[in-house]
Structure 1
Amino acid sequence: MSRAAEAQVAEVAQDPVLIGEGMTGGYGRGADILHGCTIAVERGKIAVIVGPNGAGKSTAMKAVFGMLNIREGSVRLGGKDITALSPQARVAQGMAFVPQVRNIFPSLSVEENLDMGAFLRRDDISETKAQIFDLFPILKDKRRQAAGELSGGQRQQVAVGRALMTRPEVLMLDEPTAGVSPIVMDELFDRIIEVARTGISILMVEQNARQALEIADVGYVLVQGANAHTGTGAELLSDPVVRRSFLGG
């Protein structure tokens, strides 16, 4: 990552609760996909990763969550180096990850899916579940229905709700609005804002770049696995280079 890009990241994430810094790596023994990539999010803020197809957005997210080995760089959560931890151990440390696909148990009911999200907890989960039903009222109405019978937007709500059952410090979302209608997308983004207001940090990869940057406290534009542009959502939306290259003008 260039010094200018490093300065941009440092400026917008001065006290990150989570940071993947200078990450270089790829899958297995294959070629590197990330090249000195840095992604960070502050407590209770929304950080969005955008960029063209094949830019390494989801790879950066997975690297932060420990789903691939990075050859260079580090990942820190709350100031603690977690680079060597497995994804399961990172969940125990306060991270939750919602993949783009296969993110629910379709044969289980909505409520059973939420219960599965609390598998690490040994305390009373009823209060957390009530909070999720307040956040997603439709899930309370359909709590006994098989999750696989729900609409795409409702299944995404189940997936997010299940992740929130772990009471994470950081919620990571990979393309949460993929395949849903614009109305459902707006509703999901509204709920994501509500989650952030509770103090949970949101790190999100999103293909609907313009809409995602509208709710972002900080945005990262990746190109070929490296930081190309970093700034607040408003700054990136008004940047003529970003608009022309990534937002359709």
Structure 2
Amino acid sequence: MSFLSATGMTGGYGNGPDIIEDCDIIVDKGEIAVVVGPNGAGKSTAMKAIFGMLNLRKGAVVLDGLDITRMAPQERVRQGMGFVPQNRNVFVSMTVEENLEMGAFIRDDEYGETMERVYELFPVLREKRNQPAGELSGGQRQQVAVGRALMTAPKLLMLDEPTAGVSPIVMDELFDRILEIARTGIAILMVEQNARQALEIADHGFVLVQGQNRFTDTGEALLANEEVRRSFLGG
């Protein structure tokens, strides 16, 4: 069984219609899985379903062999899930270091070594550690958000549109850091609008359309698939 196995997910928000239907997403340790598709395809909804932010009518979410389908998000964090939402993902009035310390709130052990690894991964955060996060650029805020999630010592790191609104240079830098994180054995699950660039670093890709899996394959195979290229990657 894969480290994360989210299968048959069907559900939506409140009493509204289903946004995702029979949706499957899996990822293994040290792998990068990318969810792509057109706007409104249910990508972020699938991510939120995996993190427990909406109730599933059908389906199951299993993490490291444990069925967590009925667990609240905070319980899933304790089981090893780290989640970085697309919007409002830093405490703007708090310093960079205070943001990172907030990520360690669930830990009972010493977290100084983890913080040092975050600073090694994102050197600019060390330089700006005493600066309010609200004064940082968009790309730097994303680094703070990812760093804070890493402070929970996750086994699975989920990123919802991590490169939204950043320049191509910053996007490439973030993807490089994501590759580094995966090499440490952490499973990465990422929803991304920059589909072509994301699939280039992905071990597996999931193309969602109207809340359902349309294509599932390796990143390399999806990039080579003529229909995927034509319909979702701009030719």
TM bracket, shorter-chain basis: over 0.9
1:236 to 222, 229, 233: 222
Q: Give the AA of the match of 2:29.
A: R
Task: Say if 2:55 is the partner of 1:69.
Answer: yes
Which residue, out of 195, 200, 204, partners 2:190?
204
Query: How far did 1:16 drift?
Result: 1.3
1:98 offset after TM fit, Å? 0.2
Alignment correspondent of 1:131: 117
The amino acid that maps onto 1:226 is Q
Which residue in 2 is equivalent to 1:79?
65
From 15, 18, 23, the counterpart of 2:9: 23
1:169 matched to 2:169? The reply is no
Structure 2 CA distance for aligned equivalents of residues 65 and 132 of structure 1? 23
State how 1:104-183 maps to structure 2 within 5 Å. 104-183=90-169
CA distance in 1, matches of 2:225, 2:132: 45
> CA–CA distance in 2 between the matches of 1:72 and 1:112?
39
Give the structure 1 partner of residue 203 of structure 2: 217
What is the distance in 2 between the residues matched to 1:71 and 1:87? 17
Residue deviations 1:139-168 (CA, integer Å, cap 9, x gap)? 000000001100000000000000000000
Partner of 2:83: 97
1:77 is aligned with what amino acid?
L
- Report the counterpart of residue 20 of structure 2 in structure 1: 34
Percentage of pairs with the same residue: 70
Question: Which one of 46, 54, 58 corresponds to residue 44 of structure 2?
Answer: 58
Q: Name the residue aligned to 1:187.
A: 173
- TM-superposed CA distance for 1:199, in Å, is 0.4
SS in structure 2 at match of 1:16: coil
Residue deviations 1:23-51 (CA, integer Å, cap 9, x gap): 00000100001110000101110000000
Q: What residue identity is the alignment partner of 1:217?
A: D
Aligned-CA RMSD value: 0.5
Aligned equivalents of 2:146, 2:182: Cα separation in 1: 13
Task: Please list the CA deviations of residues 36-89 of structure 1 after superposition, one character each: whole Å capped at 9, or x if unmatched.
Answer: 000010111000000000000000000000000000000000011000000000
C-alpha distance in structure 2 between counterparts of 1:29 and 1:210, whole Å: 35
Match of 1:211, SS state, is: helix
Letter in 2 for 1:237: L
Unaligned runs of 5+ in 2: none
Q: Which amino acid aligns with 2:45?
A: T
Task: Give distance in 2, aligned partners of 1:124 and 1:84.
Answer: 30
Structure 1 CA distance, aligned partners of 2:40 and 2:6? Answer: 19
For structure 1, the 5+ residue unaligned runs are 1-14
Structure 1 counterpart SS, 2:3: strand
1:187 partner letter:
E
Q: Which residue of 2 aligns with 1:7?
A: none
Structure 1 CA distance, aligned partners of 2:166 and 2:27? 26
